[in-house]
Amino acid sequence: MSDVPKCPKCACEYTYEDGALLVCPECAHEWNPTALSTAANDDAPRVVKDANGTALADGDAVIVIKDLKVKGSSLVVKVGTKVRNIRLVDGTAGHDIDCRIEGIGPMQLKSEFVRKA
């Protein structure tokens, strides 16, 4: 494998494989990458949380807490914009909310930039 993950303890990039384990030369941490990736692939229901850590659900209304530029246009979704009837999605680049914003149209938001209304 050429893609060896960084050390989870000290973030050192010079980790190497030693049998089934990965070893960090900086802090001597050894760990099993298979165990880590199994946890990451856990198919427990995904919970999408807003900026305050409140779980969001389909149909919720949220309020934007940060000016958000709309990709590919000069439009900006302003702080305080209320977005009704969101839909949770497994979008690209961390966009996990699908919605329609008045005056802008359909777009995807990141849950970290909204709070439940």
- By the criterion CB under 5 A, which residues form the site for Zn ion? 7, 9-10, 12, 24, 26-27, 29
Q: Please say which residue, 10 or 70, places its beta carbon nearer to Zn ion.
A: 10
Min dist. Cβ of residue 30 to Zn ion (A):
10
Min dist. Cβ of residue 39 to Zn ion (A):
19
Query: To 10 degrees, the CA torsion angle through 67, 69, 75, 80?
Result: -20
Task: Give every CB contact of residue 28 below 8 A, 6+ residues apart in sequence.
Answer: none
Q: Please say which residue, 26 or 58, places its beta carbon nearer to Zn ion.
A: 26
Min dist. Cβ of residue 29 to Zn ion (A):
5
Q: Please say which residue, 11 or 47, places its beta carbon nearer to Zn ion.
A: 11
Min dist. Cβ of residue 13 to Zn ion (A):
10
CA–CA separation, 73 vs 50, rounded Å? Answer: 25
Query: To 10 degrees, the CA torsion angle through 58, 60, 63, 64?
Result: 0
Q: Please say which residue, 7 or 56, places its beta carbon nearer to Zn ion.
A: 7
10 secondary structure, DSSP code: T
